Amino acid sequence: MKARERGTLFVLSGPSGVGKGTLRARALKDIEGLTYSVSCTTRPPRPGDREGVDYRFVSEDEFSRMVEQGRFLEYAKVHGGPRYGTLREDVERELDVGRDVLLEIDVQGALQVRSLVPDAVTIFVLPPSEEELERRLRGRRTETETELRARLESARRELEEAPKYDYVLVNDDLDEASAALRKMVMDSREGRLRR
């Protein structure tokens, strides 16, 4: 039997509030054989967060130990607060058995993955406009006004990094953006994706 080909690593990134989490949930539901790598974080769980499903919640000490042990493919301090990281072992295990893996990480992390895993497919999710990004962030009601201002400020800097990614995906109509993401994964499986 022919050995199954190694999977592809897809990295979904972009400013806070652009819809990464929403697109990720859709992709995992719609695309067979795509797995999500659950990140570690030092932030405390929010109501509704499930350990091991949404994140692995670890202490700052545990996180530092994992960094020393070289267990992270990438990690970053996000929005000046907690640290988040992708476990190398989780990603490798899935790619080795031929499954495609999706990461949903911040821009600093995505740029680390880009230089470490040259055949990863990096996708920057863009809002239709800055005004719409602000509307979405406000509509989500998960940040204080100060946090919101900081995220919008970071967003302006992050948008400048978009040209470093393989693909830019405008999340205007959710169905269309989801379909475009699905097409990228399918094209990659058929060897038709330009990288």
Nearer to ligand ADP, 118 or 139 (CB): 139
138 scored as a contact of ligand 5GP (CB under 6 A): no
- Pairing of β 83-87 and β 40-41: antiparallel
Measure CA of the first residue to CA of the last residue in the chain; give whole Å: 29
- Of positions 9, 76, 148, 177, contacts ligand 5GP by CB under 6 A: 76
Measured N-to-C along each axis, helices 145-159 and 130-140 cross at an angle, to the nearest 10 degrees, of: 150
By rule CB under 6 A, what count of residues binds ligand 5GP? 15
Name which of 121, 132, 123 is nearest 191 in CA terms: 121
Span 21-80, contacts to ligand ADP by CB under 6 A:
21-22
Per-residue DSSP letters for 95-156?
A: HHTT-EEEEE--HHHHHHHHHH-TT-EEEEEE-S-HHHHHHHHHHHT-S-HHHHHHHHHHHH
- Of positions 7, 8, 16, 117, contacts ligand 5GP by CB under 6 A: 16
C-beta separation of 11 from 115 below 8 A? no
Q: Which range binds ligand ADP by CB under 6 A, 18-26, 70-78, 80-88, 113-121?
A: 18-26
Which entry of ligand 5GP, ligand ADP, none binds 39, CB below 5 to 8 A by partner kind?
ligand 5GP
- Of positions 174, 179, 187, 195, contacts ligand ADP by CB under 6 A: 174
Write out the residues near ligand 5GP by the rule CB under 6 A: 16, 20, 39, 43, 74, 76, 78, 84-86, 104-106, 108-109
Write out the residues near ligand ADP by the rule CB under 6 A: 16-22, 136, 139-140, 171, 174, 177
